[in-house]
């Protein structure tokens, strides 16, 4: 009898309770922090960890952390709702369904090509700018496309957030991971990029192969693309679909060139939804009703983001995050270089549970690890690799990552199902990272 994985909401509430309990068990502590002009962030000062008065989180305070978490993540949650509403409008016009139907007809007998194409595209987004929340607007389109091609809904998540996570973790240029980490380690930006690119290619090939294998295994001939009469795309459909494409183009330019945040992205998709409803013939009231339906479809995804954020709120309130980091990394100084480097990867994975932000994890752990690696005689470049592959790769694993949970919820994929798919390929990716770290030690990667 297969064990049933907890519901995502149950899982997140369990983590909130666990962290609250740890605030009673673990000593409260802090590192001193300083403003770092190179990264523009507050970073910890190595060797300054000290205990502070215990601040245990009571059960009621833990529950209060939930609305606080929702408030902290309100910009992302607003994006989820407004994107859901906008695509609810586009869906009601029928343009998206007819457009996808047209595409499915042209992919007959070549459906599997969608997987490597999407994986490479999203991995590039992850490698360039740590794409995560930005994937949420694409979920409705991906889900419609993959299910119409006869694939399990999990494929929509695998080719998007999964591939983006692999691209982010193995990236030579991701400014929010390797960029910040190299600055903190005093390394030249883009150093060892060729070395990282080799392992990025290997990791992405492994991910694509695993995704294709799952797609083939879960899709039989009888479950292939549905044979149905495809409705012709009319003029209104062309305008609506063109509007969607233009919106995504503006979205990409805004993020890459002007540094748009979630608020600007939310406004952009709201405007798209309003125009699509009017052009698509829904009228003012019809557009409003379609927005409401879209809001409903994304409500659970939005709530999950707030609950995930509440875990960090509780850990921060109990002042145990620095204690966890200090307790996990301090023992590594007693091990040989190779073992210590592998241990760094494992510990970075563990730290990502309470700190599901790769940039936040970098400014918290690298200032501690760099002096430690110097003491051990371990290359700083290898230390950055251990952070990337241990912490960055965890973005596609930890349930405390609100973006991951929101995308899975929007795709209709239970977290337990995702873990069953992820477990073997994640082991392969982690091993690839270990090999990269090991070879880096052997060749003196600097």
pLDDT one-digit tens code per residue, 157-179: 999 999 999 999 999 999 889 99
- Kindly state whether residue 72 falls inside one of the protein's structural domains: yes
pLDDT band at 105 (very low <50, low <70, confident <90, very high): confident
- Kindly state whether residue 7 falls inside one of the protein's structural domains: no
| pLDDT value of position 219 | 79
Using CA atoms, how far apart are residues 422 and 419, in angstroms rounded to an integer? Answer: 5
| pLDDT value of position 220 | 56
**Number of domains the chain contains:** 1
Q: Kindly state the average pLDDT of the residues 53-72.
A: 96
Number of Cβ atoms within 10 Å of the Cβ of 430: 20
Which residue, among 385, 360, 361, has the nearest Cα to 373 in the 3D structure? 385
Structure tokens at 340: 């210590």
| pLDDT value of position 101 | 77
- Kindly state whether residue 299 falls inside one of the protein's structural domains: yes
| pLDDT value of position 230 | 52
- Kindly state whether residue 45 falls inside one of the protein's structural domains: no
- Kindly state whether residue 48 falls inside one of the protein's structural domains: no
Range of the domain at 294: 15-36+60-443
| pLDDT value of position 221 | 45
Number of Cβ atoms within 10 Å of the Cβ of 5: 15
CA atoms within a 13 Å half-sphere pointing along the CA-CB vector of 101: 15
Whether residue 229 has pLDDT greater than 60: no
- Kindly state whether residue 275 falls inside one of the protein's structural domains: yes
Q: What is the pLDDT of residues 420-443, one digit of tens each?
A: 999 999 999 999 999 999 999 999
Give the 3-state secondary structure of residue 35: strand
- Kindly state whether residue 47 falls inside one of the protein's structural domains: no
Q: What is the pLDDT of residues 382-411, one digit of tens each?
A: 999 999 999 999 999 999 999 999 999 999
| pLDDT value of position 231 | 62
| pLDDT value of position 71 | 95
Residues above pLDDT 90, as percent of the chain = 68
| pLDDT value of position 223 | 44
Backbone angles phi, psi at 183, to 5 degrees: -60, -45
pLDDT band at 42 (very low <50, low <70, confident <90, very high): confident
- Higher pLDDT, residue 374 or 41: 374
User: What are the DSSP E strand ranges found in 224-313?
Assistant: none
| pLDDT value of position 2 | 58
Whether residue 227 has pLDDT greater than 60: no
State the chain's mean pLDDT as an integer. 90
Whether residue 225 has pLDDT greater than 60: no
Q: What is the pLDDT of residues 307-359, one digit of tens each?
A: 999 999 999 999 999 999 999 998 998 899 999 999 999 999 999 999 999 99
- Kindly state whether residue 50 falls inside one of the protein's structural domains: no
Task: Report how far Cα 272 is from the mean position of its chain's Cα atoms.
Answer: 25
Whether residue 75 has pLDDT greater than 70: yes
């Amino acid at each position: 009898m297969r064990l049933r994985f907890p519901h995502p909401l149950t899982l997140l509430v369990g983590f909130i309770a666990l962290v609250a309990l740890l605030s009673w068990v673990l000593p409260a502590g802090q590192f001193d922090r300083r403003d770092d002009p190179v990264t523009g962030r507050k970073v910890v000062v190595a060797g300054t960890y000290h205990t502070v008065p215990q601040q245990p989180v009571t059960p009621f305070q833990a529950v209060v952390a939930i609305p606080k978490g929702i408030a902290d993540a309100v910009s992302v949650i607003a994006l989820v709702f407004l994107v859901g509403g906008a695509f609810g409008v586009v869906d009601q016009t029928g343009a998206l369904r007819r457009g996808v139907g047209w595409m499915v007809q042209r992919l007959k007998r070549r459906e599997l090509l969608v997987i490597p194409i999407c994986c490479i595209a999203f991995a590039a987004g992850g490698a360039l700018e740590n794409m995560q929340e930005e994937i949420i607007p694409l979920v409705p389109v991906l889900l419609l496309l993959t299910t119409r091609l006869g694939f399990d809904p999990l494929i929509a998540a695998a080719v998007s957030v999964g591939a983006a996570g692999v691209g982010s973790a193995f990236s030579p240029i991701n400014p929010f991971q390797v960029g910040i980490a190299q600055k903190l380690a005093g390394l030249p930006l883009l150093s060892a990029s060729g070395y990282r690119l080799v392992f990025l290619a290997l990791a992405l090939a492994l991910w694509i192969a695993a995704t294709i294998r799952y797609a083939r295994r879960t899709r039989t001939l009888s479950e292939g693309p549905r044979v149905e009469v495809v409705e012709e795309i009319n003029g209104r459909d062309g305008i609506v679909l063109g509007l969607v494409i233009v919106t995504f183009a503006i979205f990409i330019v805004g993020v890459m060139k002007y540094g748009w945040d979630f608020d600007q992205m939310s406004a952009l998709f709201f405007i798209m939804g309003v125009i699509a409803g009017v052009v698509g013939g829904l009228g003012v009231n019809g557009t409003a009703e379609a927005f409401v339906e879209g809001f409903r479809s994304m409500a659970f995804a939005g709530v999950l983001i707030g609950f995930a954020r509440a875990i960090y709120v509780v850990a921060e309130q109990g002042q145990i995050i620095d204690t966890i980091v200090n307790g996990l990394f301090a023992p590594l100084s007693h091990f040989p270089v190779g073992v210590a480097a592998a241990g760094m990867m494992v510990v970075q994975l563990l730290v990502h549970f309470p700190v599901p932000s790769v940039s936040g994890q970098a400014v918290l752990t690298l200032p501690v690890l760099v002096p430690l690696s110097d003491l051990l005689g371990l290359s700083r470049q290898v230390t950055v690799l251990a952070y990337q592959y241990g912490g960055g790769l965890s973005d596609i694993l930890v349930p405390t990552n609100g973006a991951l949970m929101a995308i899975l919820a929007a795709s209709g994929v239970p977290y337990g199902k995702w873990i069953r798919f992820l477990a073997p390929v994640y082991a392969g990716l982690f091993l690839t990272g270990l090999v990269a770290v090991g070879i880096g030690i052997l060749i003196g990667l600097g």
